[in-house]
Amino acid sequence: MEPKIIDLSKPIQYNAGDPWFMKVKIKHKSHKKSHWLIRLALGLPAKLFPKNWTGWADDKIKSMGLHSTTHIDAPWHYGPVVEGKPAKTIDQIPLEWCYGEGIVIDCTHKEDFVAITGDDLKQDLDKNGITIKPGNIVLIRTDRDKLMGTPDFPNKGTGMSREATEWLIDQGVKVMGIDQWGWDLPLKFMAQKAKELNDPEYFWEGHRVGIDKEYLHMEQLTNLSALPPSGFKICVFPLKIVGGSAAPARVVAIME
C-alpha cells in the first residue's frame, strides 16, 4: 500500500488580512515576459527560439520573514547560548531530529489566553494510551489554524507554558510544534499580563526554556485535525539558511 502524505504546512502567499510583520510578497514572472528577456539577455534570434514554447515561468520572493509562515525555530532564536554552549542556527541542527514518530496532543479545549499545562498534556496522552519516547515529534493541536489569514491570528490563542514545554523536553522530545501563530500565549497579551503581575519572568516563558534546554519548535502548522493521536511519521526538513534563527519548512505527516 502506498503511504498517505498529509500536508501540515500553510500556503506561502500574500494574504491581505496578515499584519505587516507577516506579509509575504511574491512577484510572478509570466512565460510571455521571459520570452523577451531570454532573447534580449542571451542574444537568441527569434528564428532560433523554439516554436512550440512561450518561455519559462519565474518567480521572486520580494518579502518574507523567516517566521512569517509554517516554520521551525532554531535554538539561536531563543538566545545566543543554550546549556552553556553557543546556540545552533537553523543550518546547524541535526536532520535526524527532524524526522520521527509523530504524536498529536489535543488541546482544543483550552480557551484563548489560557496556557497549556503539563497536566493538559498528560491527560490527553493517558486518554489515548500513549507514552512519549525519546525522538518523538509532538504536535499540539489547538485548531487556531482556522484564524490564519485574519488579523486575529497573532492576537488570539492558547499557548504552551514553561512547565509544559520543559516536561516534553524531559521526555526526550527535541522537536515539537503547534497549529497557532506562536508557541507561547499571544505576545500582546503576555506583555500586558507581565505588567499587571509585575513579573519579569512571565513574558515569552515557553520560548525561553530554550535558553536552559536545547529544543526546537514549529509554529503555524495546519490541518492537525486530519491526524490520529499516533501511528504516523513527521518530516520537517527546514531550508538550509546559514545563520538563520528559523526557516520555512514543508511539514508533512506520513501514514504508512
Q: Name the pTM for this structure.
A: 0.95
* Per-residue model confidence (pLDDT) at position 224: 98
Domains and CATH numbers, the chain: 25-63 (no CATH), 71-255 (3.50.30.50)
What is the structure's pLDDT at 132? 98
pLDDT at position 99 is 98
**pLDDT of 251 above 90:** yes
CA 88 – CA 79 distance, rounded (Å): 10
Residue 37: predicted pLDDT: 86
| 188 and 230 Cβ atoms separated by less than 8 Å | no
Tens of pLDDT, residue by residue over 102-120, are 999 999 999 999 999 999 9
The per-residue pLDDT for 96 is 97
What mean pLDDT is reported for the chain? 96
Q: Quick one: average pLDDT of 56-85?
A: 96
3-class state of residue 122 by DSSP: helix
DSSP state of 238: B
Q: What is d(CA 208, CA 210) in angstroms, rounded to the nearest whole number?
A: 5
pLDDT recorded at residue 35 = 84
Query: Minimum mean pLDDT among 37-51, 129-143, 235-249: which range?
Result: 37-51
